[in-house]
Amino acid sequence: MDSLPWFHIERATREALGALADMTIANIAEEQANWSTGERPPEQGPARRAIETALFGPEPAARAFVAIAEGTPIGMAYVSELFPGRDLRRGWFLKLLYVSAPRRGKGVGSALIRHVRHAAEEAGAERLELHTHPDNEGARRLYQRLGMNAPPRIVYRYDL
């Protein structure tokens, strides 16, 4: 559990699926609006089913953490694992950090990162890593303030 009295952070259960779908869709829409990603936000139903399979299916791809205020999820992050990290240990990769717009600037995003970092340390991970868009200046300021470093990397991928 985390810090500030008006919200807490926990590992997401199936109960949070609707909220996870809503926030995931909102994030995809916001990224498209800001960075022209070309990704169209899915409908709620398909998003919810995809998230359910990814988090709770027979071969989970990720786990999720949610920030909850007065019973309502207001922020989230997905985490998946990297292997091999340094010394053949596992690493944690954080994907889609999101805080609902009216709740931003109140410490929720920072608390989510700190919570995930702590959970990663507890699990024996050797790093917590994330990517962000080079023009996402707000997010970059936040990560730098939290003491993350940005090792020089070029990301290559096939879009399949």
Site for ligand COA, rule CB under 6 A: 27, 30, 97-99, 104-110, 130, 132, 136, 138-139, 141-142
Q: Which is nearer to ligand COA, 14 or 133 (CB)?
A: 133
Q: Which is nearer to ligand COA, 106 or 127 (CB)?
A: 106
Nearest approach, Cβ of residue 111 and ligand COA (Å): 7
Which CB contacts under 8 angstroms, 24+ apart, belong to 45-48? 47/21, 48/17, 48/18, 48/20, 48/21
Nearest approach, Cβ of residue 128 and ligand COA (Å): 13
Nearest approach, Cβ of residue 99 and ligand COA (Å): 4
Reduced to 3 states (helix: H, G, I; strand: E, B; else coil), residue 55 is helix
Ranges of beta strands (E only) in the chain are 8-11, 63-69, 72-82, 91-99, 128-130
Q: Which is nearer to ligand COA, 53 or 144 (CB)?
A: 144
Q: Which is nearer to ligand COA, 101 or 154 (CB)?
A: 101
Nearest approach, Cβ of residue 109 and ligand COA (Å): 2
Q: Encoding tokens for residue 12?
A: 């997401």
Number of Cβ within 10 Å of residue 111's Cβ equals: 19
